[in-house]
């Protein structure tokens, strides 16, 4: 029994060291593979209980391999804006291009820590290995809705249409015009003042808001009314009046010339005294008009000076073509257009699990959820325990070639030593004339000749 256990222990040592050799080989082979997580092989002794005072039976060794998914490789800078990596804990959700092309209603989701994504002919962001980036699609105005964080059913393939044209409508406008105070005094001639401010509509065409300021002069007495009627017309609405307001200015010391009150006529949008905004509905889309906050020296004013019309659209531009996409630290994917504006088109969430090393490993540096990994949660990048999404970056392999070569040498020596054990046991069990250079494996009292020379 003792000599036989020696042979079994030697064979177990061969198997264990062969497993370690396989992990070392895999690690070295993937030393340049982006996102590769190294594999380790741990040894555990096997003990056979018996009477140690009379004999000892060798139990041998067993090996267990596991992938260190929670380790992070260093990030390197690349020239491709859609090379993404996570700077910290977490994973990006991906699916397969085959499932996307088939039009599967439920796409299989796997996890990756990095990827070199490029748009294909349909604009789908994918890697050369066929992994497709998944995210939450933004609304038309660039906002991202509220999605469930415990399911991946709301994720869609990230698709950026090639040669995409985008209108950039004006959504905000400011007025800083000065209205002459003498126009509201007794005996004023009632002259009206006009100004036009261009803006861009929902389809990218240029429109104008036309303003007419009519003073209210007193009929008797010496006090000025300090009141004007502001009428707003919209070219995109066929020149129709979209708002009429009675604006009264303060005439007291210190606050003189600032807005005192704004009263809308029937059917006109309200004035917000806290923000100074009027929410207009134009033929080119909704537009927030800022005329100034009551009591503050901004926006419309009435001072004893000439009429000075100053108004501008604070955003908007003509129709523009997509020139690039980039991601920010929070995982928002921005489409950049030739007129210098950008728009959020997707949000890429970061997936986290309780035990990353419990994930099942798939090909192409991807992983899938298991019972051992625990349940997943979709975080905003950089929130909670997760890291930021970094563009122009790739995560390098976690393999340390120098360390692996050192392990390779020790593993080779251990493997050779186990071979010598088997050779020695074989020589003691068989006739020397039967064993020139070969060794034997004893199983169930049967000698089977095998070549284990190294």
Per-residue pLDDT of the chain (454 residues; tens, 9 = 90+): 567 777 888 888 888 889 999 999 999 999 999 999 999 998 888 887 766 666 777 778 888 999 999 999 999 999 999 999 999 999 999 999 999 999 888 999 999 999 999 999 889 999 999 999 999 999 988 899 999 999 999 999 999 887 778 888 999 999 989 999 999 998 888 899 999 999 999 998 999 999 999 999 887 766 789 999 999 999 999 999 999 999 999 988 888 899 999 999 999 999 999 999 999 999 999 999 999 999 898 899 999 999 999 888 888 999 988 888 999 999 999 999 988 888 999 999 999 999 999 999 999 999 999 999 999 999 999 998 999 999 999 999 999 999 999 999 998 898 888 888 888 877 776 655 444 444 444 433 333 444 444 3
In this structure, what DSSP letter does residue 161 have? Answer: -
Q: Tokens 């949660």: give the residue.
A: 377
Longest C-alpha distance within the chain, in Å? 138
Q: Which of 422, 433, 330 is nearest to 12 (CA)?
A: 422
- In this prediction, residue 443 carries a pLDDT of 39
Region(s) of the chain under CATH 2.60.98: 172-315
In this structure, what DSSP letter does residue 316 have? Answer: -
Q: How far is it, in rounded angstroms, from Cα 274 to Cα 186? A: 32
> How many residues are present in the chain?
454
Distances (CA, A) of 282 to 143, 288, 396: 21, 10, 52
Q: How far is it, in rounded angstroms, from Cα 66 to Cα 37? A: 10
Q: How far is it, in rounded angstroms, from Cα 158 to Cα 125? A: 6
A 10 A CB-CB count for 391 gives: 20
CB 417 within 8 A of CB 10: no
Q: Which two tokens stand for residue 54?
A: 């009379």
| Residue 313: partners with Cβ closer than 8 Å, 6 or more residues away | 170, 172, 173, 197, 198, 199, 200
Class of domain 172-315: mainly beta
- In this prediction, residue 222 carries a pLDDT of 67
CB 194 within 8 A of CB 210: yes
Pairing state of beta strands 332-337 and 125-126?
A: unpaired
Q: Tokens 């748009």: give the residue.
A: 119
Buried b (16+ CB within 10 A) or exposed e, 103-125: eeeebebbbbbbbbbebeeeebb
Record the pTM.
Answer: 0.75
CB 350 within 8 A of CB 387: yes
For residue 73, give the 3-state DSSP assignment: coil
| Residue 254: partners with Cβ closer than 8 Å, 6 or more residues away | none
Q: How far is it, in rounded angstroms, from Cα 28 to Cα 400? A: 8
Q: Which two tokens stand for residue 127?
A: 């890697």
- In this prediction, residue 444 carries a pLDDT of 36
What does the DSSP assignment read for 388-425? EEESSEEEPP---HHHHHHHHHHHHHHHHHHHHHHHHH
Q: How far is it, in rounded angstroms, from Cα 304 to Cα 186? A: 14
| Residue 397: partners with Cβ closer than 8 Å, 6 or more residues away | 30, 31, 32, 33, 34, 35, 36, 38, 73
Distance from chain centroid for Cα 343 = 14
A 10 A CB-CB count for 181 gives: 20
């Amino acid at each position: 029994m003792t000599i036989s256990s020696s042979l079994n222990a030697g064979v177990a040592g061969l198997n264990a060291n062969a497993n370690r050799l396989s992990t070392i080989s895999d690690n070295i082979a993937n030393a340049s593979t982006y996102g590769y997580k190294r594999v380790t092989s741990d040894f555990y002794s096997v003990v056979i209980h018996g009477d140690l005072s009379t004999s000892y039976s060798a139990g041998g060794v067993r090996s267990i391999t596991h992938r260190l998914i929670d380790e992070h490789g260093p990030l390197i800078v690349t020239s491709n804006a859609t090379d993404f990596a996570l700077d910290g804990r977490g994973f990006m959700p991906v699916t397969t291009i085959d499932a996307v092309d088939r039009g599967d209603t439920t796409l299989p989701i796997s996890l990756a820590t990095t990827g070199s994504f490029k748009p294909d002919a349909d604009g789908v962001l994918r890697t050369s290995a066929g992994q497709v980036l998944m995210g939450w699609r933004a609304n038309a105005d660039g906002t991202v809705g509220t999605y469930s964080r415990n399911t991946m059913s709301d994720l869609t393939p990230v698709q950026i249409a090639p040669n995409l044209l985008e209108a950039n409508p004006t959504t905000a406008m400011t007025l800083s015009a000065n209205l002459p105070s003498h126009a509201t005094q007794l005996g004023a001639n009632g002259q009206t003042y006009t100004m036009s401010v261009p803006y861009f509509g929902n389809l990218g065409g240029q429109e104008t808001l036309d303003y007419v300021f009519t003073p209210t002069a007193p009929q008797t007495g010496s006090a000025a009314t300090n009141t004007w009627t502001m009428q707003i017309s919209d070219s995109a609405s066929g020149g129709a009046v979209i708002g009429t307001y009675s604006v009264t200015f303060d005439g007291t010391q210190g606050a003189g010339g600032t807005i005192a009150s704004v009263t809308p006529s029937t059917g006109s949008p309200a004035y917000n005294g806290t923000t100074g905004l009027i929410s207009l509905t134009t033929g080119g889309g909704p537009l927030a008009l800022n005329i100034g906050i009551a009591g503050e020296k901004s926006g419309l004013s009435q001072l004893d000076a000439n009429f000075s019309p100053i108004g501008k659209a604070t955003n908007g531009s003509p129709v523009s073509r997509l020139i690039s996409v980039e991601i920010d630290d929070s995982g928002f994917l921005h489409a950049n257009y030739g007129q210098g504006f950008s728009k959020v088109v997707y949000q890429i969430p970061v997936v986290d699990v309780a035990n990353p090393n419990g994930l099942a490993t798939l090909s192409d540096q991807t992983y899938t959820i298991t019972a051992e990994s625990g349940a997943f949660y979709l975080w905003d990048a950089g929130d909670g325990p997760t890291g930021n999404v970094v563009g122009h970056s790739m995560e390098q392999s976690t393999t340390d070639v120098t360390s692996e070569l050192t392990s390779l040498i020790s593993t080779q020596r251990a493997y050779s030593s186990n071979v010598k054990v088997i050779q020695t046991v074989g020589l003691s069990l068989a006739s020397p004339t039967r064993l020139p250079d070969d060794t034997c494996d004893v199983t169930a009292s049967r000698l089977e000749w095998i070549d284990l020379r190294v």
